[in-house]
Structure 1
Amino acid sequence: DALRRYGTIIYADSSVRFNSNSFNPVLIDNYIRGFAVRELPGHFLSCFTHTDTFTWFNQSYRNFESIYIAEAGFLVVTDTFLTRLIMKAWLTCALESDCLITHQSRTKCKETSSSKHRYDQSAMIIILTYFFFQGNKETWGDQKLNDPAPYDMFTSVPKNLGDIIRGAYEQYYLSRKQNS
């Protein structure tokens, strides 16, 4: 409803601290792509997603071994036909217990032994991978490098726009009013 009403939604969770209000490059770029998140290079989707989630999407984790996961804590969505399809698929997955919260399922990761499952992020990237062609995969020395995915906002976000600070304490947040 908010997406249709306002045209573009900028979502940031409580770990995002904005240093600037210069959203124009992100908004202009997002009119073209429609959906933007920040990729996490070196964090592969198959390492943070239970195999049952891939099964729900009728996919194998092997198809996603070289796809980076992206943060769901800061995203920009512009109302287009494509983003409506993405949001519908994401919402459908969220409402199905076999999709997001898979019990007794494990990750299968060849890079590391990870047992963390990033529920919303995993589903989001599986869906985005359907709609956007992934960048080229290359090896440089001992590093595996990917071109940024088409939905990676890193190319349009000004460096000083904000920081992600996990577990930060805010001095005056939810504090009692001092009597004068």
Structure 2
Amino acid sequence: MHGSLSAAWLLVALCAATGAYCLLRMRSGVEEQRRTAGGEALMGFGMALMAVPAAVLTPPRWAWLLYAVVFGGAALRALWASRAARGHHLHHLVGTFAMAYMALAMAVRPAAHAHHGGAGAPVLTGLLLGYFAVYVLWTGARTAPSATVSGGAVAGGVGGTAPGGWGDRPELARACRLAMGIGMLAMLLAM
């Protein structure tokens, strides 16, 4: 993607750290959480690879096509999983579609990547930007800690859930998704 070098490296670090945490979440005892964490780890590491500054690494056209195939396959998997009408699977579908879209845009215009020009269809990019902006605001509001007064004591927590193993904490998973949403916004803006 494009943009300032320091911002690009911060985005790489954010996405790689998010992907690494999602790999750790795959140790959960709940199968659905493991499956979701695996898809999110793929997104995090894929975003980190795509965000490496062009001044450091300019992938060949076939690499962008490979990204498009991998994320297109992940989008099909998310589409299959969303048939049960689960909200997060629909979000994962939009995210993997956005990744495939950005990879295809970069494959079609590899010279634009090297020269920091624009790529992609402006209307679709705008729709994706709008979706991820709303998602980031919504997830950020849900991630913010809430305080509940009970018997004179203030109990902090997110969503009223009791903390379990640190890999199974829903607020950490939401923070992961928030970080990836912010990263997606940055990548779409850089297109």
TM-score range normalised by the length of the shorter chain: under 0.3
Larger fraction in strand: 1
TM-score normalised according to structure 2 size: 0.26
Q: Which has the higher contact order (CA 8 A, sep 6+)?
A: 1
Larger fraction in helix: 2
TM-score normalised according to structure 1 size: 0.27
